[in-house]
Every structure is written in structure tokens, then in C-alpha cells.
Chain A
Amino acid sequence: MSPHSIAFLVTLVASILIVVLINRLLRPGLRGLLEQVVALPAATEFYLRAFAIVVVLIALAAALDTYSELKEGARFMEYIWAIADRLKHVVEELLVVLLVYVGLITVLMAALRRRQ
């Protein structure tokens, strides 16, 4: 297995773990908030599913996008730096997605609360 493949696989596994962690931490609170704001179970389910899909797709896309210089016979810390470099890209993309989603939920709350 080439050094690139090892770094890619480790990044992929780490990205999946980050996505699972984000989903587990945010989902219960997000569900409660949406249930309170939209008062329509289907809409709550739609926004929760959309959140999960977007986070998974963007994390996997960011993991696929990255490239790092790793030569045959690279030392342990060179692998760590390469993986950290790739993970930085994944976390950046996830942060942008979370900010966009927060913006969307804020607009949703503002629009629906005004009409309550």
C-alpha cells in the first residue's frame, strides 16, 4: 500500500468519525429546536436529513480533494503532518457548511416566528 493510500484511508476514517461526532452532538438539540419552530414533523425530519446528508457529502468530498507530498519510506511524523494537513481541509469545509446551516435555521426561525 502506497503512503498516499495510507494517508487517504486514515483521513477518510477520521473524517467519518468527525461527522458521526458532529451529528450525535448536534442532532438532539437541533431536533428540539426544529420541532418547536416549524411544528410540522415532516419539516423537522427533512431538515435533519438534509443536515446529515450535507455534512457527510462535504466531509467525504473534502477528504477526496486533498493531496500531500509523501514519498516511499516516509517517517511516522511525516504521515502525521500529511494527515493533519488533509484533516485541516475537511474541518474547514465542515465549518463553512455548519455556518451556512446555522444561517438557514436562523432565517427559518425569524420567518416563522414573525408569522406566529
Chain B
Amino acid sequence: MSNEHYLIVSYFLVGLVSLCLGIVVYRVLRTPFAAIAEAATGRLRSRVLTRALGFCMTLAAALGFLSVSYNQRGCVSYEQVIKNRYFLVQNSKEQLQVTGEWIASAVFLWCIVVLICLVALRTTQANRHDKT
């Protein structure tokens, strides 16, 4: 396989893997998150929040993949990029690495959203308890 073929195949394959990673993380977190959001905000808003979780994970994965440039480290022309197979492999690894980091950051962000939902839920329950 020539370096150019390798570049084309690896670019689209890594892009697909990155997107799948975002979707898998969303599917793993969706069920417990929907239950929390429904308990805290009601059915309609929970649907919006769950969709936002999905968009956020997919966008984080896409952003991680797209944020790695092939023209970095002094490679300004296409010929320079495809000259070195090792450079192409390193770039694919970097794309997966940055995708993982972005998704992890997004998961932490949604942990804070869940924290806010739980605090809101607890406050509502306390207010109801005070009234009775």
C-alpha cells in the first residue's frame, strides 16, 4: 500500500472510529442521564438535555479528530505529508488521542450538569418537605 493510499484509508477510518467513540460514550451514559434529567426537570426538558448530551459527545469526538492538522511540524505541501509513513501513523494516533481527551473533558462537563440537576432536585424536595 502506497503512502497516499494509507493516508486516504487511515484518515477516513480514524474519522469513523472517532465518531463511533463519541456515539458509544453517549449510548453508555444516555439511560442513567435521562432518568436523572427526568427526575430533576420533567419529561420534556429531559428529552432536550438527553439530545444535548448526544450532540455534545459527537461534537467533542469530531472536534478532537479535526483539531489535528497534517500541515503541522513543518509539512507545508502534500508531497511532504505523504513522504513519511511514520509521520502518517503518528498523526492517526494523535487524532485518536485528542479525540479521547476531548470526550473525557465533555464527560466531566456533563458530570457537572448532573451535579446541578441533583442539587436542583434536592432543593425542590426540601421545599416540598418544608411546606408539608
Contacts and interface: CB of A to CB of B under 8 A. Distances in A.
Contacts, number: 92
A1 interface: no
Interface string B102-132: 0110011011101100110111001000000
Contact of A64 (B29, B93, B119, B126): B93
Interface string A24-57: 0000000000000010101101110110011001
B36 A46 contact: yes
Nearest to B115: A108
A45 B115 CA distance: 13
Contacts of B114: 43, 46-47
A112 B119 contact: yes
Contacts of A81: none
B3 interface: no
A61 interface: yes
Given A50-B107, A104-B108, A104-B112, A116 B32 contact: no
A54 B97 contact: no
A95 interface: no
A17 to B, nearest CB: 18
Interface string A77-109: 000000000000000000001001000100110
B25 interface: yes
A45 B122 contact: no
Contacts of A67: 90
A19 to B, nearest CB: 12
B111 to A, nearest CB: 5
Given A64-B94, A108-B115, A53 B126 contact: no
A61 B64 CA distance: 11
